[in-house]
Amino acid sequence: MNFRWLNALLWGNSVALAWMWGLGLFFSVQMTFMFGLQGLLLFAIPNACGLMLFGLLTQRVATSHAGGQESLAVFFDKFAKPFRLIFYLYQILALTLTVFALVRYLFVPLQLTAGPLFALYLCLIVFVILAAGCLFGEEFGIQKIKLSHTLLGLALLSCVAIILFGLQPLLPASFTWSAPFPDKWTGPSFLGYAIPLVVGLLVGPWLDLQHWQRAIQIHREQTSIRLSYFFGGGIFFLLLLFHGCLALWVMCKAGLPLFATDSRDGFQYAHDLVTRYFISNYDAAGWMPMAYFTFLSICVLTTLDSGYIALKWFLGSNVEKSQNMLIALIPKQIIGSPIPSFMVIAGVTLGAIWAKLELEYFMVAYASFFVGYAALAIARCFVPNSQQPLPQIRMFSMASMSIVIFAFGYLNRQTPLLLLGSLLPLGYVCWLVFNADLLRVVTEKAGEVMDAAAEIPAIRAMTRAATAVTGSDVKAPEHDHALAGHFEGKWFVYSMIATYADTNSVGNVYFGMYPMFVGKTRELFFNATMPGFDLKTTKFFILTRSFEHKFIREAREFETITVKIRIGEYNRKFCTLEHQIFNSDHALLGKGKQSLLFVSAKDYSLLDIPPEVYTSFINYA
């Protein structure tokens, strides 16, 4: 237990450092500049709570699905499919924002990029930053990253200690609740920032590949995801608090006008307020400037190496499973490598610095565009009726509308538009989930009514008369029906023609034949999903634990019987298959389900569902 507690603490440190990207690193200074201590807490508390909630809820996901140490990995493999492009864009934008922020608010004020060789110096700086991220990412994989981040975390702690030791006694005026210089900021109101920040920060981690990869690895190591992210959220909160309070100290000691800079949009920004102070007081501040610059570099490095590892894991996994012919034409080593993505990051970063953009221009996407996708991702984890196919076009349209509304509100200082741009995606996701739930309820109730009506004697007699067929009415299976069955979405479908051997003395298909039809279809389903299964070498057997079937209508000789079967649900030990049977007119003949268990081929002892079964069945669950 002590080892797991220590392991959770090490992972928590890695979680906090990986989340100290450009948004958390420099925007804490800007929020303090605009709204004082209340602005800093408004930014830091939802940030930390978002991490803790992610850990708490992913722990529930991991324990509620079967698969043991691989349960979260198996779940994510299925869960991430409709969000693959969004995951990738989210990660690319996060890394771009981070590199941009470090160059824009550290190296540009240092004037390392000034002079006639500005473009060359700028390219070299961006290259070195990204190369460092690649180097650490290659050197330390996900299994070792907590160890490298432990060493970097100790270095970071030393930097913080040097800065705190060098500070003069903090004046009470440093910790003003409101903005120290309220007249210098004429942007949107406090509420215009409060709601978008709370919304964006609480749901933000759900689209971050770094956090999913960490949660999966933590669960593999049999360590509590919840405890790891509790530590991570706490450490991250303290780092934000330190950085914001340092900004308050600088504003109190040096005054604001010297450090606030005007922008093209008419606002004053102070992301580099602390950097400029230490540059102007470099000789008098002792070791503090170097400690602060090292602090910023470590925070960025631990984000970039995490992003490199996460992209390598995500891209490699998707390339291996892709059947796209265009992708097949390009070497997998290129598509599965993060290097091309890092080149895109470099290009966007250089363009943004050349255009003199600010951090807020990147952040607008996290307060509006990604909010709907993140909310829907959470719903698909915990709300069963949200599992319908992802409406890609509608979601993209809504996300695009929200980002335009939010940007327009920001540039024109319209707080209502900021709130609308951030809350509109949440409202739309609620509508999608509610609408799907209503449709599901109506469908289920209609099915119950039809089933009940079919059992009324008079209607049953009419149905029997209507379904009587002659030889001329026989319908063969569709011409493209595979001899061994085929898939229709999640359903495995197999058709056959009922013959004399399947009927009883009355001419109806004998009731005992329906389970046999289902059993035949089930075996073909197994054969289609696990073609390599061999009874002579298998380490497990699949046994039927229970079987139930509800008879609705009758079938007669020479009718086409179509059986559909799919995976309904599963846990660590058992898997449930659902089935439906239809006649030639596509009328439902019956439905039911069966429960399967898995035993050892050696001694018939009960087993957890074998990993190869997960691998074969997960696409049809």
Per-residue model confidence as pLDDT tens digits over 134-178: 999 999 889 899 999 999 999 999 999 999 888 765 544 556 777
pLDDT at site 474: 41
pLDDT at site 473: 44
pLDDT per position as a tens digit, 167-222: 765 544 556 777 776 666 667 788 888 899 899 889 989 999 999 999 999 999 98
**Tokens describing residue 58:** 């992913």
Residues 6+ apart with CB under 8 A from 316: 336
Kindly state whether residues 129 and 252 are assigned to the same domain. yes
Helix (H, G, I), strand (E, B) or coil at 566: strand
pLDDT confidence tier of residue 578, bands split at 50, 70 and 90:
very high
Angular region, 416: left φ>0, alpha ψ -120 to 50, beta rest:
alpha
**Tokens describing residue 67:** 């698969």
Backbone angles phi, psi at 388, to 5 degrees: -65, 160
User: In whole angstroms, what is the distance from residue 95 CA to residue 311 CA?
Assistant: 11
Angular region, 558: left φ>0, alpha ψ -120 to 50, beta rest:
left
Kindly state whether residues 136 and 285 are assigned to the same domain. yes
User: In whole angstroms, what is the distance from residue 548 CA to residue 578 CA?
Assistant: 10
Q: Are 29 and 271 in contact (CB under 8 A)?
A: yes
Kindly state whether residues 401 and 535 are assigned to the same domain. no
Backbone angles phi, psi at 600, to 5 degrees: -70, 135
Q: Which of 3-7, 277-281, 317-321 has the lowest mean pLDDT?
A: 317-321
pLDDT at site 438: 46
Strand order through the sheet with 575-582: 486-488, 491-497, 560-570, 575-582, 588-600, 540-551
Residue 446 lies in a domain: no
User: In whole angstroms, what is the distance from residue 126 CA to residue 118 CA?
Assistant: 12
> For the domain that residue 541 is a member of, what is the CATH number?
3.10.129.10
Q: Which of 87-101, 394-408, 488-502 has the lowest mean pLDDT?
A: 488-502
Element (H, E) at 579: strand 575-582
pLDDT confidence tier of residue 79, bands split at 50, 70 and 90:
confident
Residue type, 234: G
- The residue from 381, 406, 436 where one domain ends is 436
**Tokens describing residue 9:** 């603490």
Kindly state whether residues 401 and 329 are assigned to the same domain. yes
**Whole-Å CA distances, 173 to 34, 164, 274:** 16, 17, 17
Residue 144 lies in a domain: yes
Mean pLDDT of 501-524: 90
Kindly state whether residues 410 and 520 are assigned to the same domain. no
Kindly state whether residues 168 and 42 are assigned to the same domain. yes
First to last CA, the chain: 35
How many Cβ atoms from other residues are within 10 Å of residue 325's Cβ? Answer: 7
pLDDT at site 255: 61
User: In whole angstroms, what is the distance from residue 547 CA to residue 412 CA?
Assistant: 64
> For the domain that residue 172 is a member of, what is the CATH number?
1.20.1730
Backbone angles phi, psi at 16, to 5 degrees: -65, -45
- The residue from 436, 453, 488 where one domain ends is 436
Residue 205 lies in a domain: yes
Mean pLDDT of 319-341: 70
Beta bridge partners of 323: none
Q: Are 136 and 305 in contact (CB under 8 A)?
A: yes
pLDDT at site 34: 87
Its pTM stands at: 0.71
Helix (H, G, I), strand (E, B) or coil at 247: helix
User: In whole angstroms, what is the distance from residue 248 CA to residue 174 CA?
Assistant: 5
Residue 131 lies in a domain: yes
How wide is the angle at C-alpha 533 spanned by C-alphas 527 and 534, nearest 5°?
120
pLDDT confidence tier of residue 460, bands split at 50, 70 and 90:
very low
| Domain span holding position 550 | 474-620
Element (H, E) at 520: helix 513-529
Residues 6+ apart with CB under 8 A from 511: 551
pLDDT at site 323: 54
Q: Are 372 and 399 in contact (CB under 8 A)?
A: yes
Q: What percent of the chain stands above pLDDT 70? A: 84
pLDDT at site 476: 43
Residue 454 lies in a domain: no
Kindly state whether residues 399 and 493 are assigned to the same domain. no
Q: With CA atoms as reference, report the closest residue to 148 among 306, 22, 3.
A: 306
Work out how many domains the chain is built from and give that number.
2
- The residue from 418, 436, 454 where one domain ends is 436
Instruction: Please say if the pLDDT value at position 13 is more than 90.
Output: yes
Residue 563 lies in a domain: yes
Kindly state whether residues 78 and 188 are assigned to the same domain. yes
Kindly state whether residues 381 and 489 are assigned to the same domain. no
Residue spans of alpha helices (H) in 281-391? 288-321, 325-329, 332-335, 339-354, 359-364, 370-382
Residue 461 lies in a domain: no
